[in-house]
């Protein structure tokens, strides 16, 4: 007979497995998904789904959050005008 402890241990293992999957999927896709999500010319409907996917990949995954921060910093650096271009 399965005990409560067995059930809890099973849930913890499942949770770790899901987290590992999120980390693996996020490794190759966070940057591209974020870029797609922030592009205004993409369809709103599709952007919503990409946003939901991003939210799921970020939930409980510190690695994916760090990847997103790196991506945001890169995009801000690329999209920010040089100081002398601001006033032209």
SS3 for 42-72 is: CCHHHHHHHHHHHHHHHCCCHHHHHHHHHHH
In the chain, domain spans: 29-70
The verdict on pTM exceeding 0.85 is no
Task: Please give the pLDDT value at position 49.
Answer: 95
Contact 83, 76 (CB under 8 A): no
**Least reliable range by pLDDT among 15-24, 56-65, 68-77:** 68-77
The angle that helices 62-79 and 4-38 make with each other, rounded to 10 degrees, is: 10
* Residues 23-58 pLDDT 10s: 888 888 898 999 999 899 999 999 999 999 999 899
Burial bucket for residue 41 (CB in 10 Å: 0-12, 13-18, 19+): exposed
């Amino acid at each position: 007979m399965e005990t409560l402890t067995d059930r809890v241990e099973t849930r913890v293992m499942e949770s770790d497995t899901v987290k590992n999957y999120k980390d693996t999927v996020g490794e190759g896709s966070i940057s591209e998904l974020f870029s797609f999500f922030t592009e205004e010319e993409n369809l709103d409907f599709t952007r919503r789904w990409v946003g939901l996917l991003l939210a799921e990949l970020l939930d409980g995954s510190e690695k994916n959050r760090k990847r997103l921060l790196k991506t945001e910093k890169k995009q801000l650096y690329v999209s920010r005008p040089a100081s002398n271009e601001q006033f032209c």
